[in-house]
Structure 1
Amino acid sequence: MRIRTRALVSLVVVAITAGPGAPAWADTLREALALAYRTNPSLLYQRANQRALDELIVQARSGLRPRVDVSVAGAYSKVESPLGSEDSDSASVSIGLSQILYSGGRITHSIRVAEATILAGRESLRDIEQQVLASVIQAYADILRDTEILRIRQDNVTVLRRQLYDTTSRFEVGELTRTEVAQNEARLSQAETDFTDAQGQLGISRAAYAAVVGQTPGALDPMPPLPGMPTDFDQALDIANLDNPGIRAAGYQLQAAEATVAAAKSENMPSARLTASYGGANDDFDQLGDIIDNTQFLAGATLSVPLSTGGLNGSRIAEAYERANAAQINVERERRNTLQQVSSAYAQALSARAALGTGRESVRAGTVAVAGVRDEADVGLRTTLDVLNQELELRNAEIGLVSARRNEYVAQANLLAAMGRLEGPDLDPDLIPYDPAANYQRIRGRGALPWDGAVESLDRMAAPPIVPADDAPDAPIDQRLKSYTPGSDPRT
């Protein structure tokens, strides 16, 4: 553990201090996404949890199968009396078998609860996967942005140092005043501070990249276009209502809750089982072999009908009803959350795209303006402060353009995540996807017996039906989301 901790610390230090020439293994976004998809701890943690969740189906289906118990008992007693003492001992061995025939639907509904819970878990896994990949994209975009900002800050320091040299030289021959030299010195000092801040921000971004991807970044390639971007908001929301993992998980959780209500009602139904036992007993430890000669075999059927549980079953049914109602409400909450996520990401993407256009124009105009102001300053039509201010505007425009490019890309990634379309295979068709259903299919039949299907079919007979949960009162936005079809915009 100590070795792993030291290795992690070393990795973070390298991420913060390494420069563009440091060794790296993932230079493209696709490579970074693939590495995180295979090795990110948050993703691996959720996959392990999902495999554990798959065991619910094995546990639920085990109720269809017989239960076998072996019992071995021994006893010794000694009785003291005025007439003397008497010793006695005994031993017994028995094996019992119990096979459920009908549980009133309890086992059937427990299987449905397990299946729905597992499906909800898969959607939670999808959600974590998309969060991780969105974090990779953001970290990648942050490094490209911060690297470019660092270059801009470095160029600014270089220009101001050269300009300070020229200003000082002209001051010494009486062409400029001491005030103009001081203005240049102050601007250079601020530029050096900005450069130091940019170095620190790049180090922070590199550390974040190392944490989510699992290795230090080097000279990263430009970001490729993200696949699957919607043509408009209507298409984005339509896809999100179908594929958003939060909505889908809430839907499966509702199915599990409704099946839990039916399972609770099944506790009031009759149950039937076959029983058999075989065993023997002997009153003398010294003659254990006589157990074989004193055996008993019993076989029969048991029908149980619950008459009263002191209100326990009724309370469990009421609890299950309310949990189902809560699950129904949660579906509406997830729809609203998805609407907010899609709307926010879509608006941010549009805003950043507009900022890109204005940013390019600002940089173009600023470049022309700086050249013009410098020429005018050379002939005495502009002051040193005019030149410094114009150069500052150009640097700010360049940084704004770089930030807008990053913001648009990250907003697009967040939009795809809200739509449920930011999964590994969506971003890299060559990526071997992790299939959570493979483990489920592998373990589902563990311990199965030939008559499982017959018992399950029998248990469905007269089982309490699954009844949809009560729908909560709808606000106008809920009604719009439920009736949403392509061509309508629930934001209006």
Structure 2
Amino acid sequence: MDAPCRASRTCLKFPPVNSADLIANQGHLSIMRIVVICSILASLTHAAIADDTPLTLGQCIEIALAQNTDVRLADEGLTRSHADAKSAYARRLPSISAGLLSYSRSRTGPSVRIQDNPAGIDPVTGERIFVEEETRIPAVDRDNYSLSANLNHTIFDAGEGRHSHNAARASVDGASFNFEARRAQVVFSVKQAYFSLLKASELTQVQQESLELSQRRLEEAKARLEVGAGTRVDMLRLQVAAENTRADLINLQQQERLAIAQLNYLMGRDVLVPLTVVPLSEGELRVAPPPALGPLVEQVQARNPDLQRLQASVRAAQSSVKSSQSAYAPRVSGNLSYSRSNEVFDRVYGNLSQEYRLNAGLSLSYNVFDGGIRSAGVRRSKSSLNTARLTLEARERDIALNVETTWLELDRLRRILDLAEGTVELATEDLHLAEERYRVGKGTVLEALDAQVGFTEARSSMVRARYDLAVADADLQRLQGEAGAE
């Protein structure tokens, strides 16, 4: 122990401070701060996602159209078709290229040449005397500057460029109709899921009310049994009925959760996010009677975007056939070029009236033999045209069948809904009478149970018919290509 500390036992000795440990502790605190901040942000994000604000049908459709993958893919396809049409049109225009500056430097190395050089005149003959000598030529460096401009254009191609452009424009129309068809399909799917969710919610409510009624009757039966006014058989029957109703309620609650997940999926949201929707009034669910079947089929075939897409495909295939047939015709092309070149830079970019070359040309070409490439291209394009026509014919029959099926379904559901509304009134009155008879002791528990089951089934049938009718009407709107949020 140190000398100052010997006199007092209260002397404390602190360990030396390690700077590395201090830095590590500060780093640990920084990490803890980051973790806390991330936790807070995650909580806020979860709270935002779990926003339980009820959504209307129009809002659900708007979200789905903005987030749905099929619609976004169709939009990208439309953008690509516009680019292809622009490229096809650009190929019909002249092409102009310019070389604004071209520079090259060449060097010819030194060389030795053996040649006959004059050495004098022969005094006898008077002719020149040549002597073979070596001539040394020094290295030569040369610079070259040039500029050029070229214009090329196909004057005649038997309409190949025009037909290719027409095919690309028809493809743009097809992509546009495909985009509208995808939108109409998404709108229908959202409406179907929205109506299914409302139907499951109302059916759950009907079953919940039936369960509450069964539980009240069960309590009354237990009270009667205790005072000797009831039987154990009645209590057991009511208990079995209550348990069966509870099982039906569990199934309906499961359907409601699945309907929420389906609607979230169509809107591009997490399927586990809570969702509530705004109920629709009877006026909003009211469906107008459809027109006669014959005019309706003609109207749908004239407006259906899927049929219009296939019709555009036929037009594109027709233009492709004409484009492939034009390959048998000769080609006429012309070109015009202007160039300047000199070893001195100022002479190239100085006086433009000198040191230039202007060329103009016209060429006629014909492919005499190509090994059958042109004939194969024509056969391929004709086969594509026949395929497009057959696909269109088959789709027209499918659309006509779908329209008739939907029209008949609308008529059936409309009549069932009218019957269901009347049945609910009768079942309500029957339930009240059965309850009153059972209360005063003139009716049996079986009569009360039968009346309750009939009342629940009548209400459930009316709910199903109402929303199934709305789904069928939405399907008819899809066939007509209507993609608006109503």
Query: How high is the TM-score relative to the length of structure 2?
Result: 0.74
Q: Which residue among 45, 48, 53 is the counterpart of 1:23?
A: 53
More moved, 158-167 vs 267-276 = 267-276
After superposition, where does 1:66-81 map in structure 2 within 5 Å?
66-70=94-98
Q: Which residue of 1 aligns with 2:453?
A: 392
Please name the residue that 2:408 is paired with. Answer: 347
Query: 2:476 matched to which residue of 1?
Result: 415
Residue 79 of structure 1 deviates from its aligned partner by 9.9
- 2:80 pairs, out of 19, 40, 52, with 52
Aligned pair 1:273/2:333, yes or no? Answer: yes
State how far apart, in whole Å, the 2-side matches of 1:299 and 1:246 are. Answer: 51
Moved more, 185-194 or 375-384: 375-384
Q: 1:244 aligns with which of 304, 329, 340?
A: 304
Q: Deviations over 1:176-200 (max 9, x none)?
A: 3333322222222222232233223
Identify the range of structure 1 (310-319 vs 147-156) with the bigger mean alpha-carbon deviation. 147-156
1: CA distance between counterparts of 2:419 and 2:260? 29
Aligned partner of 1:221 among 280, 283, 300: 280
Which amino acid in the other structure matches residue 471 of structure 2?
V
1:313 corresponds in structure 2 to: 374
SS in 1 for 2:358: strand
The alignment status of 1:98 with 2:152, answered yes or no, reads yes
The answer for the alignment partner of 2:432 in structure 1 is 371
| 8 Å contact kept, 2:287–2:473 | no
Count of residues in correspondence between the two structures? 408
Alignment deviations for residues 307-326 of structure 1 (CA, whole Å, 9 cap, x no partner): 22110011000110111111
1:448-476 per-residue CA deviation (whole Å, 9 max, x = no partner) reads xxxxxxxxxxxxxxxxxxxxxxxxxxxxx
**What stretches of structure 2 of length at least 5 have no aligned partner?**
1-41, 114-138, 270-274
Instruction: Work out the CA distance in 1 between the residues paired with 2:231 and 2:474.
Output: 53
Displacement after TM superposition at 1:375 (Å): 2.8
Among 219, 227, 232, the alignment partner of 1:173 is 227
Matches within 5 A, 1:52-201: 52-70=80-98, 94-201=148-255
Partner of 1:255: 315
Which stretch of structure 1 is more off in the superposition, 115-124 or 225-234? Answer: 225-234
- How far off its partner does 1:70 sit? 4.8
Q: CA deviation at 1:141?
A: 1.6
Deviation at 1:166, TM superposition (A): 0.7
The answer for the alignment partner of 1:298 in structure 2 is 359
Please tell me the residue identity of whatever aligns with 1:323: S
C-alpha displacement at 1:296, in angstroms? Answer: 4.1
Q: For residues 228 and 54 of structure 1, what CA distance do their matches in structure 2 show?
A: 39
Hey, what does 1:454 align to over in structure 2? none
CA deviation after TM superposition for structure 1 residue 81, in Å: 12
Question: How far 1:391 sits from its partner (Å)?
Answer: 1.0
Q: Distance in 1 between matches of 2:141 and 2:167?
A: 53
Gap change, CA 1:305 and 1:12, over 3 Å in 2: farther
Any idea what the Cα deviations from partners look like across 1:109-158, whole Å, max 9, x if unmatched? 01210121111112111211211211222222223212211211111121
- Of 247-256 and 357-366, deviating more is 357-366
Amino acid at match of 1:397: A
Aligned AA (1:220): P
What is the CA deviation profile of residues 341-360 of structure 1, one whole-angstrom value per residue up to 9, with x for unaligned ones? 10121121112112102211
Say whether residues 1:204 and 2:258 are aligned partners.
yes
Using CA pairs below 8 Å that are at least 6 residues apart, which structure has the higher relative contact order?
A: 1
> 8 Å contact 2:287–2:469 — kept in the other structure?
no
Letter in structure 2 aligned against 1:191: T
Is residue 229–residue 412 contact of structure 1 (8 Å, CA) maintained in 2? Answer: no
Gap change, CA 1:110 and 1:176, over 3 Å in 2: same
How far apart are the structure 2 equivalents of 1:80 and 1:329? 77
Distance 1:31 1:344 in 2: 30
Q: Which moved more, 1:31-40 or 1:183-192?
A: 31-40
Determine if contact 1:110/1:260 at 8 Å carries over to the other structure. yes
What code does the residue aligned with 2:365 have?
S
| Structure with bigger gyration radius | 2
Question: Any stretches of 5+ residues in structure 1 without a counterpart?
Answer: 1-5, 429-492
2:419 aligns to what?
Answer: 358
**Alignment CA distance shift 1:234-1:10 (3 Å):** farther
Tell me how far 1:105 sits from its aligned partner.
0.3
The alignment-based identity, stated in percent, is 19
Q: Given that residues 170 and 315 in structure 2 are in contact (C-alpha distance below 8 angstroms), is that contact kept between their aligned partners in structure 1?
A: yes
